Structure 1
Amino acid sequence: MNILEKRMLAILREGRANFGFNAVKAEFEAEGTRVDEFLRLLEIARRADLKVGLKIGGCEAIRDLIEGRQFGIDYVIAPMVETPYALTKYVAAKNKVFDADERAEVGFLFNVETISTYHQVDAMGEIAREAGVGMVLGRVDFAGSLGHTRDFVNTDEMLGYARKVAEVAKSANVDLVIGGGVSPDSIAQLRSVREIRLDRFETRKVIFDAAVLDGEQAARGMELAIEFELLWLQNKRNYYKSIAAEDEARITMMEKRQAASMAAAA
């Protein structure tokens, strides 16, 4: 491990011990995580004794599900599942890739991230109940579907939507996770939703056990999660910079050789 990865590991261990860290998260969807990046994240998470969540590319992203199974992930999140039919396709896809024993060890969830999904969330809750599939309320995309910016996520109106989704998750007895613009400013809203049901909440890279909201550690935990994400991005940048530069000396030599050959031929 390099120095950045060692600090990342220290943050995860501290977060797990004191600040409700439950898992780290990668995305094959919007984040476009590459396999080599994911393997580094996986190693760091496992050394910290944390779970790993993966957002796949869609409700029927079979290749992503296969790779997630090979990597031994703990949570699978499917984005843009906007209709009951799309949710049935997701359920069928994950059942195709993971056998019954494996499904018992993995938490499968789908994103409630648009107003279109929200309008059908009761019907989708019934499917979720039968399939044992949880929900992730993605607040930033939800705000965007309403024509709002990310500043909307901590408003009273967003809280109303979140509490409704929590009621559906509670009725269906499935996990509820909240993400999207989560910061210390979100703590009051998260606590309000937890009065109904909230199992976990997440920043871009860290998933928290919602029980941390019952104490005073949540804000500090979010600060650590932000530091972890920054280190992750810096480490990723350095990694690809080194790859981009690894052949520079040979390229320069070959260019000079080619130029000399062309000059001699002239």
Structure 2
Amino acid sequence: MMVVEKEMLDSLILLKELYHIRGIKAEFEAEGASYQDMVRLRRLTLQAGIPFHVKIGGVEAVRDMRDCLELGVDGIIAPMVESPFAVKKFIDAYFTVFGEKSHHIAINIETKQAVAGLPDILEVARGFVDAITIGRTDLSASFFDPEITPDSEFIWQTVEDICQEAADHFTITLGGNVSTSTQEKLISHETTRSRIAYVETRKVIFPTEIFVYKTSSLADALLFEKLFILAKKTTADTFLGPDLKRLAKLSERVKQATPEDYLMGV
């Protein structure tokens, strides 16, 4: 195990023991995580005894679901669900790969189109989908209004509307540009907070009350993400090392080669 991976494991154990985190999340979607990244996170979450959730690249991303099958993930998240048909495509693709339901299942509601069609989306989702994740970054961007930001009052009212519609039948998770401002907003929006079970950063899923009132939670989540990126860099540097040495030699040989030799491929 690399030193940075040991630091990641220590960070995971701290997150579990101090904040009782719901899980660790990675994305084939916007984050574009590699299969190698997923293997590392699956290995470390197993060692730490923490559930591992993966956001696939789309509602019908069968290739990603097959990777999830190989990895043995605990949860699968479908992004950018904007219609009842998208939910159906997700369900059909899931059963094509897995045969029967064996994961915690979530869908992302993260556009104004999804909010407008939410009742119909939830009707199709009931009985299969366990959780709704509200992605505030894309949700705010989908209005094409610079005044509408993830922590604007408009988005917080939209979050409350989604919670009122969905919280009776689905677990609600809040994500997207999570910051200290989000902690403050959750304190001031008590009714909304009571309906949100979890808050997720790019990598870590916290119980809402712990995220809000243990303010160090955000810094520790960001530290884990930093270690994750450092692990990726360390691995890439290690793998590229021999090639970079070869590249330096090739550059020198090209300089030394005569034009005739170069044309002959020497």
Change (3 A) 1:155 1:12: same
CA contact (8 A) 1:135 1:176 kept: yes
Question: 1:56 corresponds to which residue?
Answer: 56
Offset at residue 188 of structure 1 (A):
4.1
**What pairs up with 1:70-81 in 2 under 5 angstroms?**
70-81=70-81
| Counterpart for residue 18 of structure 1 | 18
Q: What residue number does 1:147 align with?
A: 144
**What percentage of residue pairs aligned between the two structures are identical?**
28
Query: Which residue of 216, 229, 240 maps to 1:220?
Result: 216
Whole-Å Cα distance in 1 between the matches of residues 114 and 146 of structure 2?
Answer: 19
CA contact (8 A) 2:107 2:129 kept: no
Q: Which moved more, 1:203-212 or 1:184-193?
A: 184-193
- SS in structure 2 of the partner of residue 246 of structure 1: helix
Distance 2:160 2:260 in 1: 77
Greater Cα shift, 204-213 or 48-57: 204-213
> What letter corresponds to residue 129 of structure 2 in structure 1?
G
Secondary structure of the corresponding residue to residue 86 of structure 2: helix
Query: Residues 236 and 148 of structure 1: is their aligned pair in 2 closer, same or farther, counting only changes over 3 Å?
Result: farther
Other-structure match for 1:239? 235
**Whole-angstrom distance in 1 between the partners of 2:260 and 2:150:** 67
1:164-183 alignment to 2 at 5 Å? 164-171=161-168, 173-183=169-179
- Judge conservation of contact 1:109–1:136 (CA < 8 Å) in 2: yes
Q: Identify the residue that residue 229 of structure 1 maps to in structure 2.
A: 225
Q: Where does residue 118 of structure 1 map in the other structure?
A: 115
Contact 2:66–2:97 (CA under 8 A) maintained in structure 1: yes
Instruction: Determine whether 1:134 maps to 2:131.
Output: yes
TM-score, scaled relative to structure 1: 0.88
Taking the aligned partners of 2:99 and 2:239, their CA distance within structure 1 comes to 38
Name the aligned partner's letter for residue 224 of structure 1. Answer: D
Match of 1:68 in 2: 68
Task: Judge conservation of contact 1:81–1:117 (CA < 8 Å) in 2.
Answer: yes
Specify the code of the residue in structure 2 equivalent to 1:47.
Q
* Further displaced range: 233-242 or 84-93: 233-242
The aligned amino acid for 1:250 is R
Residue of structure 1 equivalent to 2:154: 157
Tell whether the 8 Å contact from 1:57 to 1:79 is kept in structure 2 after alignment. Answer: yes
Query: Aligned AA for 2:86?
Result: A
Structure 1 SS opposite 2:159: helix
TM-score, structure 2 as length reference: 0.88
Q: CA 1:253/1:122 → structure 2, altered by over 3 Å: closer, same or farther?
A: same
Which sections of structure 2, spanning at least 5 residues, go unmatched? none
State the aligned residue count. Answer: 259
Q: How far did residue 136 of structure 1 move?
A: 0.8
Cα-to-partner distance string for 1:184-203 (whole Å, 9 max, x where unaligned): 221244453232x2222100
- Secondary structure of the residue aligned to 2:31 is coil
Q: 1:128, 1:174 within 8 Å by CA — same for their partners in 2?
A: no
CA distance in 2, matches of 1:39, 1:166: 34
Map Cα deviations across residues 213-237 of structure 1 (whole Å, 9 max, x no partner): 5x732x2111100111112112212
Equivalent residue, structure 2, for 1:184: 180
Give the aligned partner of residue 193 of structure 2: 194
**Cα root mean square deviation, aligned:** 2.4
Structure 1 position 62, deviation (Å): 0.6
The 3-state SS of whatever aligns with 2:49 is coil
Please list, as runs of the form range in 1=range in 2, the aligned pairs for 1:78-93 lying within 5 A after superposition.
78-93=78-93
| Alpha-carbon distance between aligned partners in 1 of 2:84 and 2:33, rounded to the nearest angstrom | 28
Structure 1 264/153 Cα, relative in aligned 2: closer, same or farther at 3 Å?
Answer: closer
Q: What is the CA distance between 1:257 and its match in structure 2?
A: 6.1
Contact 1:19 1:220 in 2 (8 A): no
CA contact (8 A) 1:20 1:221 kept: no
